[in-house]
Amino acid sequence: MTEHHDPANRWSDLERPPLNLRALRRGLVVPGGLWTALDVVTATGSTNSDLAARARDGAVEGAVLVAEEQTAGRGRLDRRWTAPARSGIFFSVLLRPGPEVPVERLGWLPLLTGVAVATGLARAAGVDTALKWPNDLLVTVGGEERKAGGILAERAGADAVVVGVGLNVSLRADELPVPTAGSLHLADAVSLDRDTLLRGVLRSLEQWYGRWRAAGGDPALSGLQEAYAAGCATLGRTVRAELPGDRALTGEAVAVDGDGRLILRTADGTRQAVSAGDVVHVRPAGAA
């Protein structure tokens, strides 16, 4: 019998069951915890856009919006992020760090989220996730680094930040949007249960965010800077940073500074900080 995959039928792909909203709420929305509300929608354009609108309407910190499918998901530079329904984890969280965290420290939020996702996936999926500065999640497929996810943080009003995460979970090779993409499935994760993965990632994010905010956003005091450096695949490599204004800068990525900027050492030995831009890994770490 041939199985037909009808996107309109949520039970059409039995390998990709829907998320269990009741169980997720029971496990994550608890008294005294960070997460105050959790909603799952069948499909939406962008969870970041939807949650940003709620933030501007006064939604409290800790709201989580999850989509089974995103039809207009965005990465940095407004790049599209699309995937089959229920094939990944697509969610956004609303954070209001408060006056105790200086504005210049907010650039750490996407890096913090990357550390939290990698930590959560190591526990829940048994897969090693590396971080590419500033917002890509990498897995190893057939000995090659592949992008399996991304993070997008956006200001939403004076004191709110919406952080979105997109992660390919069960994508098969013939479903990849580009050959350089990857998924937890292709990286041989021990679990592809999206309920388990989402719980693990959100609990990890709550822990890291709490530690960082308690430290006034200080990345060193909270341990975040050290953890990010340990998991960052960009450091130690020759990279090309494609900067705004059609400029490019090539050098060795030697550090991430206190404001979350990537520090490059160029051929003449000078160090330059990169705060925004696309980074291309020119050579593997440890290559001659």
Question: How many CA atoms within 13 Å lie on the side-chain side of 164?
Answer: 25
52-105 confidence digits (pLDDT tens):
999 999 999 999 999 999 887 555 445 555 689 999 999 999 999 999 999 999
Q: Are 285 and 133 in contact (CB under 8 A)?
A: no
Return contacts of 225-228, CB within 8 angstroms, 24+ apart: 225/256, 225/258, 227/115, 227/119, 228/111, 228/112, 228/114, 228/115, 228/131, 228/256
128-185 confidence digits (pLDDT tens):
999 999 999 999 999 999 999 999 999 998 899 999 999 999 999 999 989 899 999 9
For residue 2, the model assigns a pLDDT of 36
How far is the C-alpha of 214 from the C-alpha of 221, rounded, in Å? Answer: 10
Domain-wise residue ranges, the chain: 21-230, 234-281
- The DSSP bridge pattern shows strands 144-155 and 63-67 to be unpaired
User: For the structural domain made of 21-230, what CATH number should be given?
Assistant: 3.30.930.10
pLDDT score of 18 more than 90: yes
For residue 284, the model assigns a pLDDT of 61
Query: Which helix (H) or strand (E) is 51 found in, with range?
Result: helix 47-56
Provide the whole-model pTM: 0.91
Cα 12 to Cα 15, 18, 67, 176, 249: the distances in Å are 9, 10, 17, 20, 48
234-281 classified as CATH 2.40.50.100: no
Buried b (16+ CB within 10 A) or exposed e, 127-155: bebbbbbbbbbbbbbeeebbbbbbbbbbe
209-256 confidence digits (pLDDT tens):
999 999 999 999 999 999 999 999 999 999 999 988 889 999 999 999
For residue 71, the model assigns a pLDDT of 85
pLDDT score of 7 more than 60: no
Query: Which helix (H) or strand (E) is 80 found in, with range?
Result: strand 80-81
pLDDT score of 271 more than 90: yes
Cα 91 to Cα 45, 199, 264, 275: the distances in Å are 12, 12, 32, 25
Q: Are 254 and 244 in contact (CB under 8 A)?
A: no
